[in-house]
Amino acid sequence: MTMKIAFIGFGGVGQALAELLHTRRQHLLETYGLDTQVVAVSDVMKGAVYHPEGLDIPTLLREVRENGSVTEYPDHTGLIKGWDSIQTIEQSNADMIVEVTFTDVETGQPAIDHCKCAFTNKKSVVTTNKGPVALAYRELAQLAEENQVYWGFEGTVMSGTPALRMPLASLAGNEITEIRGILNGTTNYMLTEMEKGSAYQDALEKAQSLGYAEADPTSDVEGYDVRYKTAILANYVMGYPLASRDIPCKGISGLTQDDIKEAKASNKRWKLLARVKKEGDQVTASVQPELIDQDDSLAGITGPTNAIVYDCDMAGEIMLTGAGAGLIETGYSLLIDIIDFHRTKTPIVAHEEDA
């Protein structure tokens, strides 16, 4: 049975996934029996188009990349243009919503409302937006379960590196007592540059010139991006209802060259670390720069690379490392969830299936 997909948001990540669905179509069909069809795109800036029998992906991508919009997609019988995101979710025949809008991580909107709308309309969702998972995990997971639909969000912590699926699937049976991670490539790159001798501001400017840091780098350098990811780990992996606002958070903006030099003299290294620790029935979390020994498993993670360590009672310390950002990597994370949804046969919440 063909999986019908609607994109809510069609920026770089959405386009990357669409291209993967097109270029890997035969492989997905032969390897997984997965046949997909994009039926809708709705983007607040790029316009909206819907056809119940499917849209041509190369044409969509060409229109967006050449004209910045899908509004000039060639008209033909049955084509509808101009639907907003809610209309697209409610009225299209899609059974999978790819939610990749530009979302305010402080409010989780509009992604939270998109997820709610999809679930109440019996439609599954895959997303890379941190806001819904960090701010409304319990409510949305319950709503998805009540409506027997799938909710996948693998890409919210480490993009295409499976930081969420691995602990609940491959490490099943272990009790995970602590999670430590380098979850922001921008700040890790900056700290690496500072160790090479760059001042904080110079390291930031290098990160911006390479596209690692935004023009306004506040979310990265003050640790807010990592705090949302830490909340996701606490809620999803540890199963503990911890709000992101309740996680103590400190970024790297206060670190100086003197701090870096003192650390090196002591054979230590500064890293911006996320920590989630379980003690009895309680789970605590923090985000802050920490001095770690050079022989620490996370000390060797340099540049924009991410890494996460799970302390397990039976398997011991397990570390996963990989890219934490990038259009192809993030698009791939959505594909991971789509394949997982297809494999479940009976659609249910990702947390329940993985656990």
* Residues forming CATH 3.40.50.720 domain(s) in the chain: 3-160+328-354
Confidence of residue 14 (pLDDT cuts 50, 70, 90): very high
- Residue 268 appears among annotated catalytic residues: no
Q: What percent of the chain has pLDDT over 70?
A: 97
Query: DSSP characters for 62-93?
Result: HHHHHHS-STTSPP-TT-EE---HHHHHHHS-
Check residue 324 and give its pLDDT: 85
C-beta separation of 214 from 200 below 8 A: no
| Per-residue model confidence as pLDDT tens digits over 89-105 | 999 999 999 999 998 98
Check residue 319 and give its pLDDT: 97
| Per-residue model confidence as pLDDT tens digits over 118-139 | 999 999 999 999 999 999 999 9
Check residue 141 and give its pLDDT: 97
Mean pLDDT of 214-236: 96
Active site residue: 4, 229, 271, 278, which one? 229
Check residue 344 and give its pLDDT: 85
Residue 11 has pLDDT above 60, yes or no: yes
Confidence of residue 29 (pLDDT cuts 50, 70, 90): very high
Q: How far apart are CA 299 and CA 95, in angstroms?
A: 44
Check residue 23 and give its pLDDT: 98
Q: How far apart are CA 302 and CA 345, in angstroms?
A: 40
Task: State the average pLDDT for the chain.
Answer: 95
**Nearest residue to 8 (alpha-carbon basis) of 123, 104, 101, 124:** 101
Residue 167 has pLDDT above 60, yes or no: yes
C-beta separation of 252 from 194 below 8 A: no
C-beta separation of 57 from 65 below 8 A: no
Residue with tokens 């809708």: 40
Confidence of residue 33 (pLDDT cuts 50, 70, 90): very high
H/E run at residue 323: strand 316-323
Question: What CATH number should be reported for the domain whose range is 3-160+328-354?
Answer: 3.40.50.720
* Residues forming CATH 3.30.360.10 domain(s) in the chain: 165-323
What DSSP designation does 109 have?
A: B
| Per-residue model confidence as pLDDT tens digits over 313-350 | 999 999 999 988 889 999 999 999 999 999 986 444 55
Q: How far apart are CA 244 and CA 4, in angstroms?
A: 34
Mean pLDDT of 279-296: 96
- Residue 87 identity (one-letter amino acid): Q
Check residue 209 and give its pLDDT: 95
C-beta separation of 285 from 301 below 8 A: no
Q: What percent of the chain has pLDDT over 90?
A: 93
Q: Would you say the C-alpha torsion 138, 139, 145, 148 has a positive or negative sign?
A: negative
Q: 168: left (phi > 0), else alpha (psi -120 to 50), else beta?
A: alpha
CATH 3.30.360.10 fits 165-323, yes or no: yes
Check residue 348 and give its pLDDT: 46
Residue 177 has pLDDT above 80, yes or no: yes
Query: DSSP characters for 148-195?
Result: T--EE-THHHHTTS-TTHHHHHTTTTS-EEEEEEE--HHHHHHHHHHH
